[in-house]
């Protein structure tokens, strides 16, 4: 039988070749499994069949004692579940020792959501008369219009935008492609940017990226983060705002407006609908506040 180290290598190769997961995800899984391998060595366990549910539970306790929070321990358990599922799939094991181990209880952490008025205030803050302001306004509009992750936003290429039909083609986690519609406001802002501002910003350089910074290079995550903080401050919004706040707001506002959960799941690019369902709590909270405000017995 292959060593545990070799089995981990086989699993990681499977995730790369068969699943096509993103590099950051592969790095995370590799790190988690290497940590588990060190734990097994410390317990003098050298064969996978010698690992059972008790070993898994002991490992989670060690992670807790090492100071890992509930969410981090949960992530490690998810990694192990995937690994053992692969071993059963390859007929290396018959039983999954993680099957009856529950994920640590984290409770529901509601995402940071901006109101429609707050979103509108931020979107109108950049000075669109200036080239950089026009670019920033177009970026913010697209971020909210399509619910993009910041990494997706900065990597949008000019050929990924269809302003006539009104959609953006993007690549999310695991390089999974999805097409998301964009509304008239975003289309107008992007068209203004492409027509007037982008030629002034790119000058003599060539770039395939839609949103460019200096010397035709794409905007960085850190660069966009700084811009968002600046515009939030100028808009007088004091609550904590991140680029992901726009994605959260996109999903919550759609559901509040009556959008179908499955449709929102597709637009966000969530593989599992349970990931999208967290936004229903936000929508329910919104409806509860409306009921309390307007119902005679609220």
DSSP assignments along 245-289, one per residue: HHHHHHHHHHHHTT--HHHHHHHHT-SSHHHHTHHHHHHHHHHHH
The reported pLDDT for the residue numbered 127 is 96
Q: How many residues are there in the chain?
A: 298
The reported pLDDT for the residue numbered 280 is 66
Where do runs of H (alpha helix) occur along the chain? 4-14, 23-42, 53-65, 70-89, 116-123, 131-146, 150-154, 184-192, 198-202, 221-234, 243-256, 261-268, 273-276, 278-294
Q: Is the pTM of this model over 0.75?
A: no
Both tokens of 290, joined, read 């409306």
Which is nearest to 164 in space by CA: 194, 198, 191? 191
Both tokens of 255, joined, read 């559901």
Both tokens of 173, joined, read 């986690």
4-89 sits in which CATH class?
mainly alpha
Where along the chain do its domains lie?
4-89, 116-293
pLDDT in tens, 259-296: 888 888 888 887 766 667 666 665 556 555 655 666 56
Residue with tokens 């692969």: 86
Angle at 260 between CA 243 and CA 285, to 5 degrees: 65
Q: Which residues of the chain have pLDDT under 50?
A: none
Angle at 271 between CA 285 and CA 180, to 5 degrees: 80
Between CA 76 and CA 69 the distance in angstroms is 11
CA dihedral 235, 253, 183, 192 (to 10 degrees): 10
Q: Positive or negative CA dihedral for 61, 67, 69, 72?
A: negative
Annotated active-site positions, please?
A: 149, 173, 244, 247, 270, 279
Domain 116-293 homologous superfamily, CATH: Intergrase catalytic core (1.10.443.10)
Cβ 84 vs Cβ 96: under 8 Å:
yes
Beta bridge partners of 110: none
Between CA 159 and CA 74 the distance in angstroms is 39
């Amino acid at each position: 039988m292959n060593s545990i180290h070799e089995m981990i290598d086989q699993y990681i190769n499977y995730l790369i070749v068969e699943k096509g997961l993103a590099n950051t995800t592969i790095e995370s899984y590799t790190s988690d499994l290497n940590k588990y391998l060190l734990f097994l060595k410390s317990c003098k366990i050298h064969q996978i069949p010698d690992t059972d549910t008790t070993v898994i539970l002991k490992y989670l306790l060690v992670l807790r004692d090492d100071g890992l929070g509930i969410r981090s321990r949960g992530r490690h358990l998810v990694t192990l579940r995937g690994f053992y599922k692969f071993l059963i799939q390859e007929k290396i094991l018959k039983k999954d020792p993680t099957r009856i181990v529950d994920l640590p209880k984290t409770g529901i952490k509601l995402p940071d959501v901006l109101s429609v008025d707050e979103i509108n205030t931020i979107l109108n803050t950049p000075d669109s008369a200036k080239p950089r302001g026009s670019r920033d306004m177009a970026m913010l509009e697209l971020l909210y219009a399509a619910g993009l992750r910041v990494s997706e936003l900065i990597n949008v290429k000019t050929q990924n935008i269809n302003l006539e039909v009104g959609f953006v083609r993007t690549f999310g986690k695991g390089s999974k492609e999805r097409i998301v519609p964009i509304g008239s406001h975003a289309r107008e802002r992007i068209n203004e940017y492409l027509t007037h501002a982008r030629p002034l910003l790119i000058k003599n350089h060539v770039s395939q990226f839609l949103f460019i910074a200096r010397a035709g290079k794409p905007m960085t995550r850190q660069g966009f983060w700084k811009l968002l903080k600046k515009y939030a401050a100028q808009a007088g919004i004091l609550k904590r705002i991140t680029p992901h706040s726009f994605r959260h707001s996109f999903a919550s506002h759609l559901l509040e407006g009556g959008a179908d959960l499955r449709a929102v799941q597709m637009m966000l690019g969530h593989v599992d609908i349970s990931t999208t369902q967290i936004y229903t709590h936000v929508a329910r909270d919104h409806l509860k506040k409306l009921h309390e405000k307007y119902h005679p017995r609220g």
